[in-house]
A and B are shown apart, each in its own frame.
Chain A
């Protein structure tokens, strides 16, 4: 079985973990707790990938999301956070507007997931090894891959330009 041979309950526990941590990100009033909860959520997703026999994706998930993105976010919180201020401002302002939208989005997603014909697992999905993924990345999808990196470079340069301008003004 290509999906890995694990007990289904393991997946449910993991899914609950991811969901609870995801809710924690939204619900915690302390920004740092939200960040920590997000780290836990990312870890849960990494475990899910590991269960699905995709160790490369799992490890890259930890490397990129836990090791890089979360650390940068925590870094930013540490540098900017005011210790004794109200956080209420960030929450509940547009709850009335957001709630129906969220419910609608959830409904659409549910309908899509239930009705969709997922079909059989393709040949390419059966080879989640490093070799399989790198062949896909560097043979089949070189152009999109490079394009994405170009977008990232553009974003980085944009961020630098914005940051510099602000510095000159002040």
Chain B
């Protein structure tokens, strides 16, 4: 009987995870299009259903109705396998995220590493998809995506390490518990959150880091040869990724499901108000992601790599050193860390732009002079 219940529980959570991927992707597409339209002072999709909320559903049906087309020279096995693999990452990573108290698929005691490990699936799926398409745009897009995702994984891990140091555990439930009483990690380690958030945007391949599928150079990158529902899988993963990455960020830095009255309505061992708080926080971050995409222009490849390897990773390492020193030697380490981290946060925000501009100017000066 216990085995049966355990299997049932697992099935329920996997179904929830799939549902989150599909619903989040459909919601996010409309959400993004409407928010972009609002910010650009135009209407956006507003014909299908009230305020255009049904637009994604119409798009989804259009996509499913398309011909399942495979280029003649594409590798038949890997071309099919890649879109399936891309879903694994999106679904599996949710299994360690507590949607609310008492609603986690598994309280794995290495949850933080699990999150990082599972991202590898998405990278690999994109690589295989791009390679098997037999198309130069796909190949270059896939190479760019993989290089970018591998590079930005490192600062992301450096950010996660600090979360693990603060919580004293790799279990996600403990990380949430360490933030009880509104002592959210983002409040006293904002610099860590900044590094994590920037690299998570790059992991999502979103603007300003959307080089793998920059339309003006690569048609649509690794997805060029995909159409119909196979393309739909990549598309779903990308847009569900907004929500999933924000879920991770909220869980690790913004206290997860915790909020006022989170413990008020509890039945079946699950705090139902927690879900509402969780969703509110997640969608604030999703809104920020859309906002960032709209505000910032796309980076060049060399700028992208330099930003990861020469700026984010050294800063991440220094941040770990400083955090460890503060935790070790300062008695009220949360206060000490807040001071140091907020100073670093503002220094980074203020100094980043002049430093990048200075780098750009120096590069330009080094270019050989062409005599016309």
Contact = CB atoms under 8 A, between A and B. Distances in A.
Contact of B131 (A63, A78, A130): A78
B109 A130 contact: yes
B114 interface: yes
A74 B128 contact: yes
A36 B82 CA distance: 11
B124 interface: yes
Interface string A29-46: 010110010010000000
Given A36-B81, A59-B114, A78-B131, A71 B108 contact: no
A68 interface: yes
B110 A130 contact: yes
A70 B124 contact: yes
Interface string A65-93: 01110110011011100010000000000
A62 interface: yes
Contacts of A59: 108, 110, 113-114, 117
B195 interface: no
A41 to B, nearest CB: 14
Contacts of A60: 113, 117
Contact of A67 (B75, B119, B131, B142): B119
B250 to A, nearest CB: 22
A129 B127 contact: no
Interface in B200-249: none
Given A63-B116, A71-B127, A71-B150, A32 B109 contact: no
A14 interface: no
Interface in B128-148: 128, 130-132, 134, 139, 142-143, 146-147
A75 B78 contact: no
A36 to B, nearest CB: 6
B264 interface: no
A52 interface: no
B146 A75 contact: yes
Given A39-B124, A74-B124, A66 B117 contact: yes
A20 to B, nearest CB: 15
Report, as a range, how many residues of chain B touch the other chain. 20 to 34
B120 A66 contact: yes
Nearest to B124: A71
A66 B121 contact: yes
B131 A74 contact: yes
Given A59-B113, A75-B127, A78-B142, A67 B120 contact: yes
Nearest to A65: B120
Interface string B286-326: 00000000000000000000000000000000000000000
A36 B176 CA distance: 37
Contacts of B81: 36
Contacts, number: 75
Interface residues of A, number: 24
B109 A55 contact: yes
Contacts of A130: 109-110, 169-170
Nearest to A75: B146
Interface string B71-112: 000010110010000000000000000000000000011100
B118 interface: yes
B302 to A, nearest CB: 18
B109 A129 contact: yes
Given A36-B81, A74-B124, A78-B131, A67 B116 contact: yes
A78 B120 contact: no
28 contacts: A30-B75, A32-B78, A32-B128, A33-B78, A55-B108, A56-B109, A56-B113, A59-B108, A59-B110, A60-B117, A62-B117, A66-B117, A66-B120, A66-B121, A66-B124, A67-B116, A67-B120, A67-B123, A67-B124, A67-B153, A70-B124, A71-B120, A71-B123, A71-B127, A71-B150, A78-B139, A79-B143, A83-B134
Interface of B: 75, 77-78, 81, 108-110, 113-114, 116-121, 123-124, 127-128, 130-132, 134, 139, 142-143, 146-147, 150, 153, 169-170
Interface of A: 30, 32-33, 36, 39, 55-56, 59-60, 62-63, 66-68, 70-71, 74-75, 77-79, 83, 129-130
Given A71-B120, A79-B143, 8 more contacts: A56-B109, A59-B108, A62-B118, A67-B117, A71-B146, A75-B143, A78-B143, A83-B134
